[in-house]
Amino acid sequence: MRQVWTWPHVELSDGAVEAMKWLGLLLMTADHAQKYGMIALPGVYEAGRMAFPLFGIVLAYNLARASSEGLALYVRVLTRLLVCCVLASIPFIALGGLGFGWWPLNSMGTLAVSVGVMYLIESRPPFWKAKAATVFLLGGAMVEFWWPGVALCVGAWRYCTHPTGGALLLWLAGTAGLTLINGNGWAWASFAILATMAYGVTINIPRASRWFYLYYPAHLTVLLFLGFGIQSP
């Protein structure tokens, strides 16, 4: 009998998902501390390029494995991301370095746009393809990491939900786009970390979900006030 090729499924333990989340938080915090002048260490910027891909994969996997909760899950996660995006915008803008004083929106906005696209794909309202493409194009133009960041999240989610070559291609294309934006290839290391967590590591780490969203605006606020302290005579 002829065997039919099937794409491998992504399966992670709860501890592995949390480990990826914590690693992303650590890398992001160190990267932002260096970006805003708190520390100056070699390799921090490069390692920090892994943070967003890890967050995107964790978000995608969590939504895919909890698909039985229905569309309410997407609405709940989208709401949290939008609230945190707004809260983070105040310190994010105040820290400076943005075009027109505000652009692009922070990475919580990138994740929110991604979930918006996922919601439209999952719910399939009338003209859902056009609506999803519109959110992708317009939303992706407004947020950090732009369209590659959204493509990575949506591709990872689609692959975790329905493993296909097309979903993997979108995931890979998003990662390749991040490589161009970052100026290095560290975003690809997220695949190595994912493979290690899926097939080689068993970790038991308690789950911390709600405060995870609030950490992003909170740490930017702390960096802002620390920056004021450093600049004060």
The reply to whether 2 falls in a domain is no
The reply to whether 215 falls in a domain is yes
| Stretch among 142-146, 161-165, 206-210 having the lowest mean pLDDT | 206-210
Between CA 188 and CA 178 the distance in angstroms is: 9
The reply to whether 100 falls in a domain is yes
The reply to whether 168 falls in a domain is yes
| Stretch among 46-60, 92-106, 161-175 having the lowest mean pLDDT | 92-106
Kindly report, residue by residue over 103-161, the tens digit of the pLDDT. 999 999 999 999 999 999 999 999 999 999 999 999 999 999 999 999 999 999 999 99
The reply to whether 22 falls in a domain is no
The reply to whether 60 falls in a domain is yes
Q: Which band of pLDDT confidence, cut at 50, 70 and 90, is reported for residue 87? A: very high
- List, in order, residues 6 or more apart from 45 with CB less than 8 Å away: 31, 34, 35
The DSSP secondary-structure symbol of 3 reads: P
More confident residue, 75 or 99: 75
Neighbour-count burial of 63, counting CB atoms closer than 10 A to its CB (0-12 exposed, 13-18 middle, 19+ buried): buried
pLDDT at position 232 is 44
Distances 30 to 24, 27, 80, 111, 183 between C-alpha atoms, Å: 10, 5, 24, 20, 18
The reply to whether 28 falls in a domain is no
**Closest CA relative to residue 136, chosen from 150, 126, 123, 152:** 150
> Cis link prior to 104 (omega < 30° from 0)?
yes
Mean pLDDT value across the chain: 92
The reply to whether 231 falls in a domain is no
- List, in order, residues 6 or more apart from 86 with CB less than 8 Å away: none
- Which domain covers residue 159, as residue numbers? 51-221
| Number of domain units in the chain | 1
